[in-house]
Structure 1
Amino acid sequence: MNYYLKGLCFALIVAACTLGFSTVASAYENPIILPNEWKWDTGVYYGSGDPYILKHNGVYYMYVSTVDDKSGIKVWSSNNLVDWTYEGLSTTDPVTKAAYAPEVVYWNGYFYMYTSPGGNGHYVLRSTSPTGPFKVKTGNIGHTIDGHVFIDDDGQWYFYNASDAGIVSHPMTDPYTIGKGTTTGSYMGGWTEGATLLKRNGLYYMTYTGNHVWNRGYRVNYSTSGSPLTNFLPSSENPILINTEGPIHGTGHNSMIIGPDLDTYYMVYHSQADPGRHFNLDKVVWNGKKMEVLGPTSSVQPDPDMPAFSGDFSNRDEKKWSNIEISNLTSKEKQNHNPHNRWEGMVTKNFTETNFSAEFNLLQLTTDEKGHPPDRVRNPGYGVVFAYQDNANYGVALINKNNHRLQTQFVVNGEKQGWESTSLPDDYDYNVLHNIRVKKDGKQFKIFIDDMLKQTRNADLDGGKIGYIDRNTNASFGYTAFSNKVNGSGAWDTPKPVPGTIEAVHYMSGGEGVGYHDKTNENIGGMYRNGAVDIRLNPEGGYNVGWNQTGEWLKYKVNVAEAGTYDVDLRVATTFEDAKIRIWSGSQNLTGVVDVPNTGGWNDWKTFTVKNLPLEAGVQQLKVEIVKGEYDFKSMAFTKSAPVPTTTHDFNDGNDDGWKRYEGDISVENGKYRIGGNYAKVLTGEDSWSDYTIETDIVMKDSGVKSGILLRSTNPADGSHLGNFKHFNQGYFAYITTNGVYLGKENYGWNYLTGVATSEPLELNKTYHMKVVVNGTNIKVYLDDMNRPLIDYDDNSTVPFTHGKAGVRTSNGTAVFDNYKIYSD
């Protein structure tokens, strides 16, 4: 047994052994500036667009798009996703001039790179090292930009590329051959690119981006399917990553990677650098099947958590490891008959907790320690051991070359639970590095080989030590680690960014009196988390905290970007009339006692806002107290708040100072604001505005025009910039046509909400006075009669907009606005 793997410094497995594990800062801030980023020949910054990260043998490798006037693909390495070392050009082949979106997958000893130079088809390159040199292995195999490869649990490969009809999927017959394409359903209403696929708990998640890389509305959506090829359904939470204003804007073209803690996903993406692009990193959390990105962030964030234990055998540390010998994997009769059936190994001196994730890297050398080839050695074998308490309690995952199988066994209180075997891929090469991951959640163990889920078994084992064992085999082992996190449990204690959304079920760990106080002895709903907090499925997706009772509380770790006053939107359901809530930061009462509205039913969810919470900057704990009554609790979303000043715009000075134009034909003429075109909008105010009233005069000039007031608008972008897209905005639109008064909702798409046809058609070239009053999730729309609303609408959807700018908009024609006034009561 060779524990050292010679420092992993031989040609088959170059894993940057010289990288080491440097001491790092405790926090990072987006964007992350890399050493030796791309520049044009003129010296103009190009940066790091389309970042893709591969993890191999404990080290992360990042590849980015190449500047258009140069050849070669740069690569960086890191052990923590934050501190990066430039490793040089992984290839200098002339075919890689302007190499777009290079991605690399590892399979059976080789690293395969896929890239589309200049967007003109794809080429496949190959290397035995993640840092290269990569050599071109194919001619131009075609397809549009942003090729992405996913390998499923059964070893089947798939290729994905961009198109005007959405992301296209293709089965592959080998790393170089791409089959017929199928539209997946992942579509952004136009050009859609930058697909990434991951599989989690049997469900396929696809992230994708669009529509144009230099539009500020560039963003990330996600969809899910039971198939890797088609029938992907977009999430109702889309977009999950967007920011059109501020230092981090134009966010998109992401990849996904599991962090150093072996469990937490991170979204890796670029933002516009004006010019060029920057690399950014934000954490992903899960609530059941729902995925949420804690970003984009532009404030200081904690570094990714490292594993509880890690080692790469580059230096044997006796303080970390101890030797073991296992003699009960086979029967006593076989032991007596053949002493070579004993297994020897080395395990950590550290114990995992009950639930954990573990990573192992290993290979079998071409001869045993005596120089015999493996096929001439009796009963060879090697593999990993986990949940090891002693020789009577442990689990193993073994690689059996003779049978070409993965074999697992669990021993509980000295009793073997039975062998289970799974075939390995036909081309599985035992003499190159492979990765084994073990995830334990409760009694369930999941065994992965090279990121393919191969077995799921149940065993009544606690946590324990991890390590390696072999028998009559010259096996070598590389990076090894474990973390006491599994299935996204890192979300419980990670500081959630504020502003941002926090899922109710992501309360802190630590149990009774630390993460929560609960009056029951067990989780009544029996779902999602162990402990006494009661959790049930939420009809809107994911899970929520339920059966809350007077005096109970939950604590949440947050990271406030800057000191100031914040509003919090709480999503609740209850039938109680007297339910009350209070939020604390330490001993500071932030809210006082606040009434929780009766929503009408336990599955009737509504959002209500608690205003003016004074929060200090930095990491802190917030306590949500159930002061009285019962209510189910789903989430809370924090937004920076600011008062709404009374503002009047009459345009008599001939300008529109204080307004920002986005698209359309817009002018100030004769003291009036004239707005027209296929789609046009202008906005004023702040994202932090909440409740206000808007009034304006409107004159419709064209029979087909929709004209009216924008409210609660955030993340606006010019949809006509490098495209032709309506509804590049998040907010509400109250408008008139010649037929009546209507209300709709924009979220980079259009959702008609309600409307009223007027008894008589509205006339062109006539002045109408519109008023909109927005309070919480209620919107009232008046026309001429300021005492009777024609529309009285409550947005009880999963994503109501409670804050944002104000403005005006037209589509399909021209209208004139005047006497625009904004005020709050």
Structure 2
Amino acid sequence: MTSKLNTATLLSILVLSLIGGSVSLSDGQKNGMGKRIPIAKGVYRNPIEVPTNGREIADPSVYKYKDRYYLISTQEYPHGGDGFRVWVSTDLVDWKFHRSVPIKGKLNPMMAPDLAYHEGTYYLYWSVDDPNHDPKGIHYGAKYTPKGVDFDPFGPDTRYEIFTYDFLHTKRHNIDGEIFFDRNDIYMFFCGHGGIRYKQLQSLGDSGDGPVHQLTSCVVDGIDIKPGEPGNNGWTEAPAIFLLDGYYHMTYSGVHFLRNDYQIHSARGRSIESIKPYKPNPLIIHTEGDVNGMGNNNWIMGPDLKTRYTTYHAKLGEGVFNPATQTGFMRKLMLDRYEVAPEDGIITAAPTLTNQPVPDPVGWSADLASVPSNMAFAAEGKAGITALDGAVKISTTKSGIGRLLAKKPSAADFVVEGHVKGTGLWRESPPSRIGITAAGGTIKLALGFPTNPADSTTPATLQYYIEGKGWTDTGIKDVKFFHAWHKLKIDKNGNTVRFYYDDRFVEEDVIYSSDGGKLGYFVENAEADLSWIGFSNY
């Protein structure tokens, strides 16, 4: 068996395959002298080369910040040193070494790191595999709170500080932790014998003493580690989860990362506790040739804000000595597209080993390092705009409205993403709001502040607006209005409008007429800092 594609939507896979095979040159091909032929412009081929100085990319985790991506992965002992390596890319294909980010505290080897952002603070989790640490796999946690207008998780002054050496309080072998935000609840999913386990967290800083649950049907089982040796006892790892169209979609990996048939399975459910496989597995597998043993995937939105991708690792070759793991192979980064269909769930042609188009860039953007020339400011009442060092600020007086809109209008179907931070408000009517506006003002998503709040620490609410329906509260609780950056996103396709807050899906609604139009930021009866914004049309 070489590969298996689980989908009832053959057309999607045919389209992806035809695109992938349309160019003949590849960085994997060699000429008669044995030298690499440069890959044709605009295409890439798996596995993706990352400059690692001879090290591997295992258990990759990719985080999107504004218009760039950061890649972190398992760090082998003792090569982790006093920090961890970070790579950066704008297109998910061309990766450059960014920096080694220091961590204050005992680091140990870093396995399968995961980065989460919540209310102004970044949280980094990983597990350890240290013979001097018992039990192995305890989850470490470190955090970093940016100051000022810079909220880069891996900026030049970033330094994470360890706050726990046993985040899950289980005293058990726990690896591959994945943070998942489900509206107002936070979970960590992680490995387990007999299926993926998960725990609802008290907070990102303290998991609490709540119970650990297990999804016993989400298991990769019944295969020996090596011929003639006992099976893997249902050992399953590397959960990755997202919520879309009323389903919780999850993937997970097994049998064992040393095997050629290391594989990725998929499952879904209408609730977390009901997640289970819904079609034949595996979703991604490739057992023959120089590239095999695929697992540990995560989900990421492409630079165009609308195309979905998964990153994962694959085992490259036999006889390629890895000095860190003392094994005869290296793990490398893989990138593939996927779609989500109502009936078929996750659909992908992965693994692709032919030429693929490099992810499309965003259709329009403004970095707002200064007042941008491709946007126009308009005031209603008294409002003004000033440039900061890396952002812009809009300030209004009572009842004032300031708008910073793209000069280029969107089409009727679009996706727009922006970053806002509230810094001041008037505590009298009308209510204060900061957010993004689209389709000529017919659709908005905002941090809303009630009339006459008790004080400046009163939590804001997350609200959306659709013309003809007015403002609706999403039910997201305890949004910090002050001193925390928030990513807001509106995705309008056909009559469906989806709203996202800090990369978490929060609401879906219907709009019956919209012709596109101007989009950008608005600030009502408040003061706010604004950063990178971009949009693409469907």
1:69 alignment partner, one of 78, 81, 101: 78
Structure 1 residue 288 displacement after superposition:
2.4
Structure 1 residue 206 displacement after superposition:
0.6
**Which residue number in structure 2 is paired with residue 167 of structure 1?**
196
**Which residue number in structure 2 is paired with residue 56 of structure 1?**
65
**For 1:110 and 1:429, how far apart are their aligned partners in 2?**
14
- For 1:129-140, what aligned pairs fall within 5 Å after superposition? 129-131=152-154, 132-140=158-166
Deviations 1:355-382 (A, max 9, x none): 22111111112x4xxxxx6558975432
2:141 alignment partner, one of 111, 124, 128: 124
**Which residue number in structure 2 is paired with residue 257 of structure 1?**
300
| Contact 1:254/1:268 (<8 A) preserved | yes
| Contact 1:70/1:97 (<8 A) preserved | no
Q: Provide closer, same or farther for how the CA distance between residues 116 and 364 of structure 1 changes in structure 2, counting only shifts above 3 A.
A: same
- For 1:183-198, what aligned pairs fall within 5 Å after superposition? 183-184=214-215, 185-189=217-221, 190-198=234-242
Q: Which amino acid aligns with 1:400?
A: G
**Which residue number in structure 2 is paired with residue 463 of structure 1?**
516
Is the strand fraction higher in 1 or 2? 1
**For 1:374 and 1:97, how far apart are their aligned partners in 2?**
49
Question: Can you give the 5+ residue segments of structure 2 that lack an aligned partner in the other structure?
Answer: 1-39, 130-135, 146-151, 222-233, 321-328, 382-395, 452-459
| Contact 1:73/1:96 (<8 A) preserved | no
1:306 aligned to 2:332? no
**Which residue number in structure 2 is paired with residue 181 of structure 1?**
212
TM-score (norm 1): 0.49
Structure 1 residue 446 displacement after superposition:
2.0
**For 2:444 and 2:251, how far apart are their aligned partners in 1?**
35
Who wins on radius of gyration, i.e. which is larger?
A: 1
- For 1:150-549, what aligned pairs fall within 5 Å after superposition? 150-153=180-183, 155-175=184-204, 176-178=206-208, 179-184=210-215, 185-189=217-221, 190-228=234-272, 230-273=273-316, 274=320, 275-289=329-343, 290-318=345-373, 320-325=374-379, 340-365=398-423, 367=424, 375=427, 379-388=431-440, 394-402=442-450, 404-411=460-467, 416-426=468-478, 428-459=480-511, 460-485=513-538
1:97 alignment partner, one of 102, 108, 113: 108
Q: Provide closer, same or farther for how the CA distance between residues 363 and 34 of structure 1 changes in structure 2, counting only shifts above 3 A.
A: same
**For 1:145 and 1:458, how far apart are their aligned partners in 2?**
40
Q: Provide closer, same or farther for how the CA distance between residues 244 and 321 of structure 1 changes in structure 2, counting only shifts above 3 A.
A: same
SS at match of 2:439: strand
Deviations 1:327-353 (A, max 9, x none): 8xxxxxxxxxx9943422121122222
SS at match of 2:106: helix
**Which residue number in structure 1 is paired with residue 20 of structure 2?**
none
SS at match of 1:419: strand
- Structure 1 runs of 4+ aligned residues shifted over 4 Å read 373-379
**For 1:424 and 1:102, how far apart are their aligned partners in 2?**
27
**For 1:424 and 1:83, how far apart are their aligned partners in 2?**
37
Identity of aligned residues (%): 25
**For 2:192 and 2:507, how far apart are their aligned partners in 1?**
36
**For 1:137 and 1:92, how far apart are their aligned partners in 2?**
11
**For 1:462 and 1:315, how far apart are their aligned partners in 2?**
30
Q: Provide closer, same or farther for how the CA distance between residues 134 and 429 of structure 1 changes in structure 2, counting only shifts above 3 A.
A: farther
**For 1:417 and 1:177, how far apart are their aligned partners in 2?**
39
Q: Provide closer, same or farther for how the CA distance between residues 145 and 407 of structure 1 changes in structure 2, counting only shifts above 3 A.
A: closer
Structure 1 residue 90 displacement after superposition:
2.2
Q: Provide closer, same or farther for how the CA distance between residues 198 and 408 of structure 1 changes in structure 2, counting only shifts above 3 A.
A: closer
Q: Provide closer, same or farther for how the CA distance between residues 291 and 74 of structure 1 changes in structure 2, counting only shifts above 3 A.
A: same
- For 1:558-597, what aligned pairs fall within 5 Å after superposition? none
| Contact 1:248/1:296 (<8 A) preserved | no
1:29 aligned to 2:45? yes
**For 2:305 and 2:533, how far apart are their aligned partners in 1?**
11
Greater shift in the superposed pair: 343-352 or 186-195: 343-352
| Contact 1:76/1:88 (<8 A) preserved | yes
**For 1:306 and 1:420, how far apart are their aligned partners in 2?**
32
| Contact 2:245/2:342 (<8 A) preserved | no
| Contact 2:243/2:505 (<8 A) preserved | no
Greater shift in the superposed pair: 251-260 or 128-137: 128-137
**Which residue number in structure 1 is paired with residue 176 of structure 2?**
146
| Contact 2:489/2:500 (<8 A) preserved | yes
**For 1:457 and 1:324, how far apart are their aligned partners in 2?**
29
Question: Can you give the 5+ residue segments of structure 1 that lack an aligned partner in the other structure?
Answer: 1-23, 38-44, 328-337, 368-372, 486-825
| Contact 1:69/1:98 (<8 A) preserved | yes
**For 1:138 and 1:339, how far apart are their aligned partners in 2?**
44
Structure 1 residue 235 displacement after superposition:
3.5
**For 1:407 and 1:181, how far apart are their aligned partners in 2?**
33
**Which residue number in structure 2 is paired with residue 642 of structure 1?**
none
**For 1:299 and 1:454, how far apart are their aligned partners in 2?**
36
TM-score (norm 2): 0.74
RCO higher in 1 or 2 (8 Å CA, sep ≥ 6)? Answer: 2
